[in-house]
Chains A and B, each alone.
Chain A
Amino acid sequence: GIQVEQSPPDLILQEGANSTLRCNFSDSVNNLQWFHQNPWGQLINLFYIPSGTKQNGRLSATTVATERYSLLYISSSQTTDSGVYFCAVVNYGGATNKLIFGTGTLLAVQP
């Protein structure tokens, strides 16, 4: 099955700093989503981005499907950005249309 690797695994930032999170996947995908998991466990949708670039406020994402990676950019980070960031992919060629989650990036933003 598809392997989804995220880097870095952990990241500590000072408030106001910028960061780039990466998601690599081992096979072609049809869907790709980025999520932020808050301290209470809820997965918050950030982007649905199977290809191309999107921006939402301080966050933006780019997926280059042909090269099998996606990037999540966080600018001017705030303490509320802390948590775990997951990318998740779907491959319609598999037995199910399940979301396959990456290994996650744990982000801590310090005041």
Chain B
Amino acid sequence: DAGVTQSPTHLIKTRGQHVTLRCSPISGHKSVSWYQQVLGQGPQFIFQYYEKEERGRGNFPDRFSARQFPNYSSELNVNALLLGDSALYLCASSPDRANTEAFFGQGTRLTVV
């Protein structure tokens, strides 16, 4: 069975640019959540989507947005990139809205220069 897949694995962007990160959940899972992990810290919650609707949002600026498609895959978009957005972005897949046993993808490492 395929696990959670994220693309791209690595990305370098310039300040002010826009970035789109993608995630495909485990087959049958309807919930996708996004987390940001900066060096030396634990992952911080950005968004949860379930059944194509936003079900939760963390303490991140409006430059961060996301959506979920009918096949339950998801995109995370970040506008007007700042140096501080450099981080590992992790996608988590779970079968339900309750986030019962989440599984993570390998992450996208974003570097903003």
Which B residues from 80 to 109 make CB contacts under 8 A with A?
88, 90, 92, 97-107, 109
Residue tally, chain B, CB below 8 Å to A: 27
Complex Cα gap A88–B107 (Å) = 17
* Contact bitstring B37-74, A, C-beta under 8 A = 1, else 0: 10000111100100000011110000000000000000
A-side binding surface: helix, strand, loop or mixed? Answer: loop
For A92, the closest partner residue in chain B by CB is B98
Q: Which of A43, A90, A97 contacts B55 (CB 8 A)?
A: A97
B24 within 8 A of A: no
Q: Would A98 and B99 count as touching, CB distance under 8 A?
A: yes
Q: Which of A31, A40, A102 contacts B42 (CB 8 A)?
A: A102
**Size class of the contact patch on chain A:** 20 to 34
Contacts of B103 in A (CB 8 A): 45
Contacts of A33 in B (CB 8 A): 101-102
B96: shortest Cβ distance to chain A, in Å? 9
* Contact bitstring A74-111, B, C-beta under 8 A = 1, else 0: 00000000000010101010011111111110000000
A52 within 8 A of B: no
Tell me how many residue pairs across A and B have CB atoms closer than 8 Å: 68
Contacts of B107 in A (CB 8 A): 41-42
* Contact bitstring A18-33, B, C-beta under 8 A = 1, else 0: 0000000000001101
Q: Which of B88, B102, B105, B106 contacts A99 (CB 8 A)?
A: B102
Contacts of B44 in A (CB 8 A): 101
| Highest count of chain A CB atoms <10 Å: which of B42, B102, B109 | B42
Q: Known interface pairs A31-B100, A48-B101, A101-B42. Does A95 touch B106 (Cβ–Cβ under 8 Å)?
A: no
6 smallest CB-CB distances across A and B, nearest first, come from A96-B56, A101-B42, A98-B45, A43-B104, A48-B101, A97-B99
A contacts, CB < 8 Å to B: 30-31, 33, 35, 40-43, 45, 48, 86, 88, 90, 92, 95-104
B contacts, CB < 8 Å to A: 33, 35, 37, 42-45, 48, 55-58, 88, 90, 92, 97-107, 109
